[in-house]
Amino acid sequence: MSLDPSQPPSRIQASMVIRNIGQLVTVAQQPVPGATGPLQVIEHAAMAIHDGTIVWIGPDNMTEPLFQTDETTNTQDISIVDAEGAVVTPGFVDSHTHLVFAGDRAEEFHLLRSGVSYAELLAQGRGILTTVQATRSASTEALLGLAQARLETMRLHGTTTVEIKTGYGLDRVTEEACLRIINMLMAQEKTALTPQTEMRIIPSFLGAHVLPQEYQDRREAYIDLVTEELLPSFVGLARFCDVYCDREAFTLEECRRILTQAKELGYQLKVHADQFSPSGGARLAAELGATSADHLDYASDDDLDALREAGVVATMLPGTSYTLRMPYPSARRLIDRGLHVALATDFNPGTCYCENMQMIIGLAMSAMGMSLEEALIAATINGARALGLTRLVALRWVNIANSPSGHCPITMRLAITSE
């Protein structure tokens, strides 16, 4: 793909050309001729796509190359899209979700509003355990249908890449069923009618989400189950192994054991870290070279420095703070310490029932000290970093301006050199 509109090639093979783009937000990691600002924005731009891949960007004027459908034909079969002055931005990369589950926890939301703490709900066998019971009782067909509907809602809100965790089965049968459902979703997206409608899905195994009810007096036996049976069995079904390292979930040493085994088996690592207490999860993520550490509400300055030095992405989840009425952690603090900061929904049935990355961006700006540019970078290229996808980002046409034609999502792939 040419990122130098001043020297366009004479001929470009394309199946679609988008014209009349008011602003093209490239988030390029290197200077682009004619682009300005931290987001590398090109004003009055055009874009050419071939088979779902962006092959040219540049100004919408006579310096455009000649577009053709193949080596011999002309432009007659190229789809021309008028963006009507809208803005083209990268698609949202939602790098932390719990999308596959059954049941709801609306009653618990009311209890939280009434002053009952999240820890008290867990002690009563509610919270995550409520969802575990409902998920274990649901059929594969029901879980798949629920997940498909949620995925479609995410797509309509502008998400083009999503990570999906397990963690509501907490036994071999249900955890495997949930992983296979995630893989079914991946296969369905790969057979989309056009490359422009495909959603990229990343599967994660979160067996260490919370201690299941039947293991309440047998913690070590459950850790044995996860490390010695589930992790080896799920190689190839999940890209990441995640753990919940906090006072309400698993201890630092339990998480170290699980993640060490996962790393040896070839999983990439993620950590729910320091959400409700300074658990040591962030430091563990740095120690083991995790791809991301998520939440970080109680991470210390030293923890953040360790994450930066280890190249771990810091993922912030303001929707959870909103639901639980917790103080919002400062994104400014992380950014100023030199970390790559990502934003994600943490979509789940209890502490953040939100599929909308647009809302998360708004919360990050209003409550966490992010600028618009920082929030958009966090929700796109840094979300990709949090999934180990720094060289492949999905772009999506987002109609930010008022357009008579309304909202029109188009997903494309753009190779970006990030370092």
Q: What is the pLDDT of residues 360-386, one digit of tens each?
A: 999 999 999 999 999 999 999 999 999
pLDDT at 415: 35
Which 3-state string (H, E, C) describes 344-373?
CCCEECCCECCCCHHHHHHHHHHHCCCCHH
Confidence of residue 196 (pLDDT cuts 50, 70, 90): low
Superfamily name and number for 11-85:
Urease, subunit C, domain 1 (2.30.40.10)
pLDDT at 269: 98
113-127, 321-335, 389-403: range with highest mean pLDDT: 321-335
pLDDT at 126: 73
Confidence of residue 391 (pLDDT cuts 50, 70, 90): low
> For the chain, what is the mean pLDDT?
87
Question: Are 45 and 58 a contacting pair, CB within 8 Å?
Answer: yes
Name the percent of the chain lying above pLDDT 90: 64
pLDDT over 70 at 293, yes or no: yes
Considering only CA atoms, which of 270, 29, 35 is closest in space to residue 166?
A: 270
Question: Are 80 and 391 a contacting pair, CB within 8 Å?
Answer: no
pLDDT over 70 at 76, yes or no: no
Confidence of residue 74 (pLDDT cuts 50, 70, 90): low
Phi/psi at 285 (5° precision): -60, -40
pLDDT at 113: 73
pLDDT at 404: 36
Confidence of residue 52 (pLDDT cuts 50, 70, 90): confident
Q: How far apart are CA 246 and CA 351, in angstroms?
A: 15
pLDDT over 50 at 117, yes or no: yes
0.85 exceeded by pTM = yes
Confidence of residue 417 (pLDDT cuts 50, 70, 90): very low
Q: How far apart are CA 416 and CA 83, in angstroms?
A: 23
Residue spans per domain, the chain: 11-85, 92-391
Specify whether the backbone of 205 is left (phi greater than 0), alpha (psi in -120 to 50) or beta.
beta
For domain 92-391, the CATH class is alpha beta
pLDDT per position as a tens digit, 228-254: 999 999 999 999 999 999 988 999 999
pLDDT at 63: 67
Q: Give the start-end residues of each E strand in 129-246.
A: 159-165, 200-208, 240-245
Confidence of residue 39 (pLDDT cuts 50, 70, 90): very high
Q: How far apart are CA 134 and CA 130, in angstroms?
A: 7
pLDDT over 70 at 5, yes or no: no
Structure tokens at 220: 């070590």
Phi/psi at 289 (5° precision): 70, 40
